[in-house]
Amino acid sequence: MTNAQATADLPSEDTSTMRPAAGPWQIAMRRLLRKRLAVAALVLIAFFYFVGLFAPLLAPSDFRDQNLEETLSGPSWDHPFGTDRLGRDQLSRVIWSARTTTIVTIATVLTGSLILSVGLGMLSGYLGGKVDTVIMRAGEAFGSLPALPMLILINATMRDRVKGWVDNLEGWLSTDQPLFYVIFGVLALIGVAALAAWLLAGSGGRSGAWLALAVTSAGAILALWGVQAVFAMPGASDYFLIFGALSLFFWVGGARVIRSQVLALRETEYVLAARSMGAGTWRIIVSHLLPNVSPIIIVGVSASLGAIAGSEIALTFLGVGVHDPTPSFGALIFDASSQPVIRNHPHLLIAPAIVVGLLIFGFNLLGDALNDVLTPKAR
C-alpha cells in the first residue's frame, strides 16, 4: 500500500460539526452562571431595577395620595404593607423608593464610575506627563476630603441653587419649547446621514467612524429623552444634586486602579505596534486598552453600586437627600425608626429595611462573584 493510499484511507475530520472556540466573555458568563448565589443576586437586582423603572405602572396608587381615615393601618388586602401616618399606601411608597434608588445609582454610575473614572483614568495612564499630574492631584484633593461630611455639606448648601439651575434647564428642554425639537431634529438628521453614509459606502470602503457617529447620535437622543423624563418627575432637583455630589467622590478610586493598569498596558507589544503603524490616541485607547481593562471596570462598577445606593439612603436618612413628597428608603426608615413607631407599628420599618438589606446583600454577592470570574488571578 502506497503512502497516498494510506493517507486516503484515514478518516477525514468533519469540519461542519466543529464549534468555534469560546471567547473570554462566554467563558466568564459560564463561570458566573455556575455560581447559584451570584445568579440569585443577579435576579434580585434585576427585579429591583425592573420595579424601579416601571414604578408608575406597578404601584397600586400614587405615592402622594392620602387617606386620613386609614392612618397607620396594618397590612391588609388593600394595603399589603400597611399605611403611614398620613394614610399613604406603604407598598406604593416602597416601589417609588426603588425608583429613586434606581435613578440615583444609574446616573452616578454613568457619570462617576464610567465617564469620569474610566475616562480620566485611561487618559492619565496613557498620556502621562502634565495630564497625569493634573488628574491625579485633583483625585488626591477629592480623596483627602471626608466623603460623607462633604456630601452632607454640599447637599445642605447647594440645594436652592441647584433647584434654580434644574428649573431653568427644564424650561429650556421642555417639550413645550421649540428648542427641544430643534435639538432632537439635528441629532436625528446627523444619525440618519451617518448611517446612510456607512451603508452606501459598501462592504469594502465602510468606515467605522460613520457608524460610531450614528450610534452616538442615537445615544444622545435617548439621553435627551431620559433627561426630559427625569425633569418631568417630582424631586428632579434632588436627583441631580445627589448624583452630582456622589459622582465627585466615587471616581477617584476607580481612576487610580485603571491608571495603574493602563501604565502597564501602554508598553506592551500590541500597543507599540499600533502606535508605530500610525494609530491615534483615541483609537489605541478605545480599540486596544479599553477591552483589556473592561473586566476591572465591570468589577469596580458592581462593587460601587451598593455603596452608591447606601450613600443615597444615608443622606436622605440624615435629612439632606431626597425630600418629601418624593419617597426614598432613607425617609421611610427614618419615619419608622422612632421607638413608639417600632413598638406599635413595626410593619412600617420591616418592609423598607428588608428591601434595602436584600439589595445591598445582592450587590455584595454579585461583586464578589464577578471578581472571582473576571479577575481570577486576584484571588
The pLDDT tens digits for 229-269 are 666 666 677 777 888 888 888 888 888 888 888 888 888 88
Mean confidence (pLDDT) of the chain: 79
Calpha distance 46→40 (Å, rounded) = 10
C-alpha pair distances (Å), 225 with each of 51, 175, 192, 234, 352: 20, 10, 18, 16, 30
Q: Give mean pLDDT, residues 31-56.
A: 86
pLDDT tens readout for residues 136-161: 888 888 878 777 788 778 777 777 77
Decide if pLDDT at 47 tops 90: yes
Fold of 40-378: MetI-like fold (1.10.3720)
Are 274 and 281 in contact by the 8 Å Cβ rule? The answer is no
CA–CA distance, 273 with 255 (Å, rounded to integer): 26
Q: Does residue 344 register a pLDDT over 90?
A: no
Taking a C-beta distance cutoff of 8 angstroms, is the pair 111, 242 a contact?
Answer: no
Asked if residue 24 has pLDDT above 60, the reply is yes
More confident residue, 18 or 52: 52
Residue 46 is placed in which grid cell? Answer: 434585576
Which long-range contacts (C-beta less than 8 Å, at least 24 apart) are formed by 81-88?
81/347, 81/351, 82/345, 82/347, 82/348, 84/335, 84/348, 85/335, 88/63, 88/64
